[in-house]
C-alpha cells in the first residue's frame, strides 16, 4: 500500500493507479471464469493460483483508492453548455451508459442551463478536467413514471412535454397536473448516472454525488419538494427469458390469469387479465386471437425483445400498454424484491439504490 500511496503524490500518479486497477479487475474477472469453468483441471488450478497471487494486490489498491476518493477530497460541479470545458463534455458523451446521446443538439439540450434539467459531475483535484462520475437530472411537475417523457426530443423545450401525452394514456406521469410545459417544477428526477472510470468500479461514488446534487438543487430551486430516480432494470429481460424457459406451463385446467402470472414469476391473485391481453395482442399484431397461456407468454416475450411493429412501439398502443402493465408491474416487482444472488438483489441497479438508502 505504501508504494500505491507514494504514487498518488506524483503527477498523473492517481490516473495511473486507476488504469492499473481497471486492468487488474479485467484480469481477475477473466481468471475467475477460467478457474470456474475451464475443462482442463491443470488450467483451472493455475488460474486459481494466479487469483490468489493477484487478489491481495487488488485489495490493497482498492483500499488506497477508496481513501483517495473520500468526501474530503471531492468536489461537485454543475455542468453547463456555456461554461463546462469541451474536454469534460466529451467525457460525458463518451461514457454515457444509460441514455446515449443522439448528437450535438442532444448534448446541448442536456447541458444547457434550463429550468427543466441539470447535470452534475464529481471531480478530484488530482485528475484534471476528467470527472469521476456524472448525473443528469430532470426537473418536472410531478413524478414521471417513464423515461420517454423525459428524453422526448423536438422543439427547444420539448423535454418534459407531458402536455403532448394524452391524459388517459397509461404512460402519463401519475403526478402530472396537466397544463403547459412551463408549469413550475416541483420534482427532481435523477435519470442517468454514469461512471467514467472503470478502474473505480466497486468504489462508491454515486451516493455522494447524488446527495451533493440534491443540496445544490435545494439551494438554487427551493420549489423542488421531492426527489426521485428513474432507472433502467438491465437484468430483467435475461432473467425473465430464463425463468419462462425453466418454469412449468401449469395444469391445463388452471385459472388462465393465475397461470399466466406464474409464468412471469408472480404467484397468487393479481390484476392480470389474460383474455384482455390476448385480445390486445390480436389487435396490435393484426392477427387472430391466440388466448392460450403459452401463446400469450410467447407474444409478451417477443414484444419485449422486438418492441416496435413497423413505426409503432407496443407502449404507443394504449390498449396493449394497459393490458401489459399489470403483468409486467407484478413481474418486475417480484424480480426486484425476491430474486436474490448471494443474499443481495439479483439486479445490480437495485443494489446501487439500496446502498444509497432506498427501499
Tens of pLDDT along 8-45?
A: 989 889 999 999 999 999 999 999 999 988 888 899 89
Furthest CA-CA distance within the chain: 73
* Domain termination residue (choose one: 203, 232, 261): 232
Does the pLDDT of residue 157 top 70, yes or no? no
As a whole number, the mean pLDDT across the chain is 82
Better pLDDT: 51 or 106: 51
Average the pLDDT over 185-211 and give the result.
88
Residue keyed to cell 445490480: 348
Q: Is the pLDDT of residue 269 over 90?
A: no
Q: Which domain holds residue 48?
A: 1-69
pLDDT over 70, % of the chain: 88
Q: 249: burial class by Cβ within 10 Å (0-12, 13-18, 19+)?
A: middle
In a domain, 356, yes or no: no
* DSSP H stretches of helix in 103-143: 104-111
Q: Which residues contact 285 (CB under 8 A, 6 or more apart)?
A: 299, 309
CB neighbour burial string for 273-307, b if at least 16 within 10 angstroms, e if fewer: bbebbbbbbeebbeeeeebebeebbebbbebeeee
Residues 66, 72, 73, 76: is their CA dihedral positive or negative?
positive
Of 1-10, 55-64, 270-279, 349-358, the range with the highest mean pLDDT is: 55-64
pLDDT level of residue 192 (50, 70, 90 thresholds): confident
Q: Say if residue 209 is exposed, middle or buried (CB neighbours under 10 Å; 0-12, 13-18, 19+).
A: buried
pLDDT band for position 182 (cuts 50, 70, 90): low
Which of 69, 99, 123 delimits the end of a domain?
69
For 323, the grid coordinates are: 393490458
Tell me whether residue 190 is in a domain: yes
Per-residue model confidence (pLDDT) at position 167 = 37
**pLDDT score of 170:** 41
The answer to whether the beta carbons of residues 182 and 200 sit under 8 Å apart is: no
User: Residue 265 is placed in which grid cell?
Assistant: 414469476
> Which of 80, 79, 89, 75 is CA-nearest to residue 127?
75
337 found inside a domain: yes
Q: Is residue 351 part of a domain?
A: no
Per the structure, the count of domains in the chain is 3
Can you tell me the distance from the alpha carbon of 62 to that of 4, in angstroms, rounded to the nearest whole number? 10
**pTM of the prediction?**
0.74
Amino acid at each position: 500500500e505504501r508504494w500505491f500511496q507514494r504514487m498518488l503524490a506524483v503527477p498523473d500518479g492517481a490516473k495511473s493507479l486507476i488504469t492499473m486497477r481497471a486492468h487488474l479487475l479485467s484480469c481477475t474477472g477473466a481468471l475467475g471464469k477460467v478457474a470456474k469453468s475451464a475443462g482442463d483441471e491443470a488450467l483451472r488450478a493455475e488460474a486459481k493460483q494466479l487469483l490468489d497471487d493477484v487478489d491481495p494486490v487488488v485489495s490493497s489498491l482498492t483500499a488506497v483508492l477508496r481513501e483517495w476518493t473520500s468526501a474530503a477530497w471531492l468536489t461537485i460541479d454543475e455542468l453547463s453548455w456555456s461554461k463546462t470545458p469541451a474536454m469534460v463534455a466529451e467525457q460525458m458523451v463518451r461514457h454515457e451508459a444509460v441514455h446515449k446521446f443522439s448528437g450535438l443538439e442532444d448534448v446541448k439540450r442536456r447541458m444547457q442551463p434550463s429550468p427543466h434539467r441539470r447535470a452534475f459531475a464529481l471531480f478530484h483535484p488530482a485528475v484534471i478536467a476528467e470527472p469521476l462520475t456524472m448525473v443528469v437530472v430532470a426537473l418536472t411537475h410531478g413524478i414521471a413514471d417513464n423515461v420517454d417523457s423525459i428524453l422526448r426530443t423536438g422543439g427547444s423545450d420539448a423535454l418534459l412535454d407531458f402536455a403532448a401525452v394524452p391524459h388517459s394514456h397509461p404512460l402519463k406521469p401519475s403526478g402530472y397536473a396537466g397544463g403547459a410545459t412551463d408549469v413550475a417544477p416541483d420534482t427532481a428526477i435523477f435519470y442517468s448516472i454514469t461512471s467514467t472510470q472503470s478502474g473505480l468500479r466497486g468504489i462508491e461514488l454515486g451516493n455522494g454525488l447524488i446527495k451533493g446534487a440534491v443540496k445544490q438543487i435545494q439551494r438554487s430551486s427551493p420549489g423542488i419538494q421531492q426527489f426521485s430516480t428513474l432507472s433502467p432494470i438491465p437484468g430483467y429481460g435475461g432473467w425473465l427469458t430464463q425463468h419462462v424457459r425453466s418454469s412449468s406451463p401449469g395444469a391445463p385446467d388452471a385459472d388462465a390469469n393465475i397461470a399466466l402470472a406464474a409464468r412471469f414469476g408472480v404467484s397468487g391473485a393479481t390484476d392480470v387479465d389474460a383474455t384482455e391481453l390476448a385480445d390486445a395482442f390480436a389487435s396490435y399484431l393484426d392477427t387472430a386471437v391466440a388466448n392460450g397461456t403459452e401463446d400469450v407468454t410467447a407474444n409478451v416475450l417477443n414484444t419485449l425483445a422486438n418492441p416496435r411493429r413497423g413505426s409503432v412501439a407496443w407502449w404507443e398502443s394504449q390498449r396493449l400498454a394497459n393490458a401489459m402493465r399489470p403483468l409486467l408491474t407484478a413481474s418486475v416487482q417480484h424480480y426486484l424484491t425476491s430474486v436474490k444472488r448471494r443474499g443481495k438483489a439479483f439486479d445490480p441497479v437495485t443494489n446501487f439504490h439500496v446502498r444509497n438508502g432506498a427501499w
